[in-house]
Amino acid sequence: MIIGDNSKLVMIGDSITDCDRARPIGEGLFGAYGNGYVNLVNALLGAVYPEKRIRVVNMGISGNTVRDLKNRWKTDVLDLKPDWLSIMIGINDVWRQFDSPLQKEKHVYLDEYESTLEELAAQTLPELKGLVLMTPYIIEPNRNDAMRATMDKYGAVVKKLAEKYNAVFVDVQAAFDEALKYYHPAALAWDRIHPNTAGHMIIARAFLKAVGFTW
């Protein structure tokens, strides 16, 4: 596995990362990691690679866009001095364009999304041993669905930046697409976004596979 011994892994994002984590820092006992994929990643790393002593920190905040991440980057990423950083952001950047179409001040369009995510990645890379970029997603198999089509464009930006900065790329959308060969979206998420435990395990599995986790 490419995450080295005694590494500190900070995972930042929106509600999918947050999942009721502890505040101000998502680390510690009694549900501090939340009830989502970060908790599963932490548990599996601890169970399968105990000798590596990998320290996981959850810094997701529900409702965040990449614009919000930029506003809290110093306190919630740089000041924590991670060895590895995982970023999964973009769902709300897209979603607000559809569920709040008249509130344009909440919309983060593709150009701002790309420039901001690139700025954060480029700024932080010199301080890191490794960067993981995870795509946003919607649990919707119809690629012609308007929100799915837009989400795919944001995911393509993540892939492009991962290639440009030699980051680990996690195609979360592709992982859900594979599951959707067998599941209706409602079996994984009531709103096509916030997954149940099986959905969070799909995300965790995609992340762990990308960093070379093996049983």
Whose structure tokens read 């795509």? 135
100 is catalytic: no
Which residue of the set 7, 14, 15, 86 is catalytic?
A: 15
107 is catalytic: no
Which residue of the set 99, 100, 115, 191 is catalytic?
A: 191
CB atoms within 10 A of CB 157: 20
115 is catalytic: no
Which residue of the set 20, 83, 145, 194 is catalytic?
A: 194
Annotated catalytic residues are: 15, 191, 194
